Amino acid sequence: MNKEELMQQIATATDYIKSKIDFTPEVAVILGSGLGPLANEVESPVTIPYSDIPGFKASTVVGHAGTLIAGTIKGRKVLVMNGRFHFYEGHPMETVTLPIRVFAAMGITKLIVTNAAGGIGDEQIPGSIMLITDHFSFFCKSPLLGPNLDEFGPRFKDMTEVYTHSLRELARKVAAENNISLTEGVYNYVTGPQYETPAEIRALKLLGANATGMSTVPEAIVARHCGMDVLGFSLITNKAAGLGSSELSHSEVTEIAHKAERNMVTLVSNVIKSI
């Protein structure tokens, strides 16, 4: 897709979503595998299936609903993506990150991203939540490749603070107030869809990664390129390959995500309240 086509695609999707809702959301939220229940917190919801939005794709992953929900959470106007697009599904990075540019074009300035991830650090045990402090994008094909979209951000974008400092401070405060233990660390991106090998996990651990997963980084890079503030949480669903006792499975990942989702819902909804 050339630049004009991509700009057109962003504009068409933006106009479609704007035609369905009569307010500008303040915060966009992306829900990862098994984290759908936050969508139930949206009051006065307007639900738009991805299949209705030009350029958006139906979700092919179990545990990802494939709907965009506009409404309010604790009085704040939100736009929630229940399910996301992954590179491993075969989508180009332009599609994986299309929603982010649409959010920016709608005037949304804050993004909260959640995911299910494998724990690498000793503290990142199944069922715990990790505040993402930074990420590795070594294995991520940059979503900013190709002609720069000057309308959104500069050619060479600084990535010193992808996950906004003040939002991380807020997340720590909200977690403490609600007695939710929050670990912190660096998230590593892999394309997937296969899980890592134990050798890969040993290498990632040496490099300083605390959790690993197949999403979030493309979206966070594009959100930063657009100048959005970003906050990210990983729900640790399993010990990464070679660190736990059993083989990894998607059903285990979604099962643990479901068990721990209450804390994630409390955390994210109260962050939204104070954002």
Handedness of CA 125, 129, 133, 139 (dihedral sign): positive
Spell out, one character per residue from 49 to 78, where the chain touches ligand HPA: x when CB under 6 A holds, - when not: ------------------------------
Q: Taking the C-alpha atoms of 206, 240, 100 and 220 in order, what is their torsion angle to the nearest 10 degrees?
A: -20
Q: Is 213 in the site for ligand HPA (CB under 6 A)?
A: yes
| Contact positions with ligand HPA (CB under 6 A) in 163-202 | 190, 195-196
By residue count, the chain amounts to 275
Residues 6+ away with beta carbon under 8 Å from 208: 186
The CA radius of gyration of the chain, in Å to the nearest whole number, is 17
Q: Is 253 in the site for ligand HPA (CB under 6 A)?
A: yes
Handedness of CA 164, 166, 172, 174 (dihedral sign): negative
Find the shortest distance in angstroms from Cβ 251 to ligand HPA: 12
**Residue 33 annotated among the catalytic residues of the structure:** yes
**Residue 59 annotated among the catalytic residues of the structure:** no
Q: Is 214 in the site for ligand HPA (CB under 6 A)?
A: yes
Q: Is 254 in the site for ligand HPA (CB under 6 A)?
A: no
Q: Which of 7, 65, 89, 91 is flagged as catalytic?
A: 89
Task: Choose among 109, 115, 107, 110: nearest CA to 86.
Answer: 115
Q: Which of 41, 50, 64, 117 is flagged as catalytic?
A: 64
Nearer to ligand HPA, 55 or 232 (CB): 232
Q: HSE (CB half, 13 Å, CA atoms) of 262? A: 4
Q: Is 270 in the site for ligand HPA (CB under 6 A)?
A: no
State the pairing for strand pair 211-213/76-82.
unpaired
Nearer to ligand HPA, 55 or 118 (CB): 118
Q: Which helix (H) or strand (E) holds 10?
A: helix 3-20
Nearer to ligand HPA, 14 or 115 (CB): 115
Contacts with ligand HPA by CB under 6 A lie at 116-118, 190, 195-196, 212-214, 237-238, 240, 248, 253
Just list the catalytic residues: 33, 64, 86, 88-89, 116, 214-215, 238, 250
